[in-house]
Amino acid sequence: MRGSRLLGLGHFQPERIVTNDDIAAMVETNDEWIRSRTGIRERRIIGESDSVLSMAVAAARMAMDDAGVARVDLVVLASTTSEHRSPNAAGRVVAELGLDGAAAVDINTACSGFEYALGIAEQAVRTGSADTALVIGAEALSAFTDWTDRSTCVLTADGAGAVVVGVSDEPRISPVVWGTVPGLTEAVRIDGAPQLFSQDGRKIMRWALTGAAPIAERILDTAGVNAREIDVFALHQANLRIIEPLTDALGASAQQIVIRDIEESGNTSAASVPLGLSKAWHRGELPRGGTVLLFGFGGGFAYAGQVAEL
């Protein structure tokens, strides 16, 4: 039965590291507060030479090299911070990488964007609309950050992650589980003039501690696996105080790997899951053939996830 599988992973982070002490020089905060409330030690922020597009292209190149493919039929790019409305960022990636003729679509579902994008690519490859697809999450949240607001500027960061999806003789990526959470539509926003990131942090935290685990269980059920069969938990890197209770609620054991890239990358929204996963993959920390739970949630309030084989 035709299915889809991950063929390669890639990522990009800007060179500039911004530590918690650097943030404390800008607003009234300190390293201890940021670490204990979020887990973040440092984050990467773009300079003049980087953009959502340049980061997406760099991550895509690395994923295509890793996969050993020179062209793809479809590019699905998730971002809430793209520089342009039209042409879309996926179309510009097609042009920059010389993927002439490939279909190109952008997804705007904030922190769950990568999992939505992977869900679309998985269906396209499984059903024969594409043989290969590039799935990218790329964000420059720093451009939409109020650097005088200590409750948000400690969280947001920039980066990109990407995967290549190809045909498999049996499904090795499960069907996506996706939806929105009623009552939280306005809980995370980029709006106003100038357009700036804002959130109701306590409301999100309350939902995350009760509402996220049942959705993760639905993702596992749809994939036909239980949490004990998962090798790697790649959950949206919103806050270590969300990731740890969530993996505890799922019954994760010390033998299972929990991606904790938020500590060195901050919250990169749609990029966070593929970024953390690709970094660990290329450091050789993840088992080839292992199963990974991918789960994103955030602005909208949208969520999506699936289980994939590495």
| DSSP string across 264-283 | HH-B-GGGHHHHHHHHHHHT
State yes or no: is 267 an active-site residue: yes
- Least distance in angstroms from the C-beta of 174 to ligand ACO: 22
Residue nearest to ligand ACO (CB): 201
State yes or no: is 11 an active-site residue: no
Spot the catalytic one: 11, 153, 236, 239. 236
E strand intervals along 217-290: 232-235, 257-258
Q: DSSP character for 145?
A: -
Q: Cα separation of 244 and 260, whole Å? A: 9
Instruction: Return the number of the residue (20 or 291) whose C-beta is nearest ligand ACO.
Output: 20
Instruction: Return the number of the residue (52 or 57) whose C-beta is nearest ligand ACO.
Output: 52
- Least distance in angstroms from the C-beta of 156 to ligand ACO: 8
Instruction: Return the number of the residue (4 or 199) whose C-beta is nearest ligand ACO.
Output: 199
Which chain residues interact with ligand ACO by CB under 6 A? Answer: 29, 33-34, 37-38, 111, 150-151, 154-155, 188, 199, 201-202, 204-205, 238-239, 242, 267, 297-298
Spot the catalytic one: 11, 20, 111, 153. 111
Q: How far is CA 26 from CA 39, 40, 179, 240, in A?
A: 19, 17, 37, 23
Instruction: Return the number of the residue (34 or 62) whose C-beta is nearest ligand ACO.
Output: 34
Q: How far is CA 73 from CA 102, 177, 223, 227, 287, in A?
A: 4, 24, 26, 33, 28
CB contact at 8 A, 18 and 162: no
- Least distance in angstroms from the C-beta of 138 to ligand ACO: 16
- Least distance in angstroms from the C-beta of 170 to ligand ACO: 33
Q: Cα separation of 277 and 258, whole Å? A: 10
The catalytic residues are 111, 236, 267
